[in-house]
Amino acid sequence: MRSCAESFSEYALRALGRDYGANLLPRGLDITLCDQLFLIGGGLIWNVYFACLALVIGFGLAVVVAVARFSENPFLSRPAGAFIFIFRGSPLFIQFFFFYSAFVLLPRAGIDIPLGFLTLTVNTSALTTAQVGGVIVLVLNTTAYSAELFVGALRAIPKGDLEAADAYGMSGFTKFRRVVFPSMLRLAWPSYTNEAIFLTHSTTLVFLSAFPARQQSGEAFYYARYFVDQTFNPFVAYPIVAAYFILLTLAIIGLFGLANRRLNRHLPKVQRPRLRFRPTYIR
Amino acid sequence: MFSFCTDPSILPDWQWFACYLTNATHLQFYRAFGVVIVLLAITAPAALGMGLLGALALRSRIWPLNWLGQGYVNIVRGVPDIVFFLFVPIALGQGIEWVMHQIHCPDWDQPIRQGNDFIVCREAKVPPVNAPAWVRDIYAFGMAVTAFALVFGAFVANTLYGAMQAVPKAQIETAEAYGMTRRQAFRRIVLPQMWVYALPGLSNIWQILIKATPLLFLLGIQDIVYWARELGGQKTSLFAYPHPDWRMWYFLGLLCFYLFLTWASERAFARLNTRLSRGQATAAGERMRKAAAA
């Protein structure tokens, strides 16, 4: 039997790959409670990685898509609407499968995109890894969901705010940057917090679907499933992963709550919208 | 399927596809779409029932019942659902076998959990050891339905609880002024009227339920994802219908199927909403009343 310290040194960072811990995962009767705690906890690295990257990139894209969707120009709003419909209307699980099988079909050597003065080579073999391809799918998915939230917020911006901006002689990008964007963010923030939570929860799907876990380095739920397969006892690994996710959820709520305070710092205290804990939606 | 299908390798393209898309495995693939629909058709009322029980527990003034409701709703909603989808079938299966074991083999002296094995006596196996394949399939499917109903029941409970609170208090007070008991007022006033308030939430949950159905695949059921992977994978010339890796096209088909389902249910819910708003004390109901009067 391993001691707890041994399993910590062997498995805490094992999720990063073979170079960071034991060669093989613990098997069968050899599995201790500490193994499960540390290996599943280490897997959270990838959950955080997927969630952070997808949220950061998706946020920028979602603002662009939302503005396009809200614009009166049908050449902008129609494609944006179609994008939102496709990614919100279909299951994330199927999206993973679809994009993975599409990425696999790309030529192995990479694709050259001539840009005139230089040639961009897209590394297609990276696209079939979860760390790149999986993030792309998550980005597209969260972009659609957040864009829908932002469109709703854009619709709800008080008329007076926009008129005040006009009265100050603001227009175009200045108006957007100083009035529209901050108001939109403020209105959408409580639901965007929920979106961040759902996205974090759905990072558990990455390795469950098509994307392979190379060198058995996967996220927390991948390891929980591995342990349940090995021990045939769902009453240990699944509660552990559930507890970790509750902690992660609380961390997100705390972080987004701070941002919410800052976004609403100009309002009197009674008027500030409170964040509500409403997690769990499936993609 | 067709008479010209005897030797597919010499057929022109359209006939080849006609034969390919109607061969035996494809028919099983199409049947799997039916399984999705059946799952939705069984799970939705089951979840609604669970949700109604949950909402009643949340409303209950008896504290153990109230705590039970609170615990159920909050635990299920706080954890990624996928954990529950994989946890409930195994846990429930082992639970049932454990109970059967206690009933059938009370004098069994060995522990049930031996290392990494879960061992019960032969009579306690569920489904029975010599059960035919279809019984096993139904059992696995039933477990999946239970998991779905449990998870979605918690969502529904929360929505229905909110809807019950949203029914105007004045109406309940009027009912009590007419001498109805709390139970009568609930049955005659709250229960019929809460649906219009619950509908937006329920339609949201329905959409999520639709999008959760491919997770059946993870429970080892031969659903559409399973068949899309099987059929789409590269087939060498050993097979009757050799083709390269077509999984992308199969998954594109699944995407379209789900897009159609969500689109159609969105429309259906919009119509249902109009129907339920008739005569209600809401803005939509008021607008309909004015339109009818004009």
Domains delineated in chain A:
42-211+236-271 (1.10.3720.10)
Q: Measure the CA–CA gap between A234 and B147, rounded to whole angstroms.
A: 14
Cβ contacts of residue B14 below 8 Å, gap of 6+? Answer: none
**Tokens standing for residue A256:** 């987004």
- Cα distance from N-terminal residue to C-terminal residue, chain B: 59
How many Cβ atoms from other residues are within 10 Å of residue A221's Cβ?
Answer: 30
Cβ contacts of residue B202 below 8 Å, gap of 6+? Answer: B156, B159
Any idea what DSSP says for residue B114? Answer: E
- Side-chain half-sphere CA neighbours of A166 within 13 A: 5
Q: Measure the CA–CA gap between A74 and B244, rounded to whole angstroms.
A: 39
What ipTM was estimated for this complex? 0.85
Q: Measure the CA–CA gap between B279 and B289, rounded to whole angstroms.
A: 7
Q: Measure the CA–CA gap between A64 and A249, rounded to whole angstroms.
A: 27
- Classify B23-247 by CATH class: mainly alpha
**Inter-chain contact B82–A204, Cβ cutoff 8 Å?**
yes
**Tokens standing for residue A47:** 């959950």
Torsion of CA B150, A96, A35, A255, to 10 degrees: -80
Residue of B224, B255, B262 to mutate, interface with A, max A Cβ within 10 Å? B255
Residue written as token pair 């019960």: B120
Q: ∠ CA(B171), CA(B175), CA(B181), 5° rounding?
A: 135
pTM exceeding 0.80: yes
**Inter-chain contact B80–A280, Cβ cutoff 8 Å?**
yes
CB A136 within 8 A of CB A127: yes
Q: Which of residues 198-237 of A touch B (CB under 8 A)?
A: 201-202, 204-205, 208, 221, 224-225, 228, 230-235
Q: Measure the CA–CA gap between A41 and A13, rounded to whole angstroms.
A: 9
Q: List per-residue pLDDT tens for chain A, 283 residues long.
A: 788 888 888 888 888 888 888 888 888 788 888 989 999 999 999 999 999 999 999 999 999 999 999 999 999 999 999 999 999 999 999 999 999 999 888 887 767 777 767 777 777 778 888 899 999 999 999 999 999 999 999 998 888 989 999 999 998 899 999 999 999 999 999 889 888 988 998 999 999 877 888 888 889 999 999 999 888 888 999 999 999 998 898 899 899 999 998 988 888 777 676 666 554 444 5
**Inter-chain contact B80–A201, Cβ cutoff 8 Å?**
yes
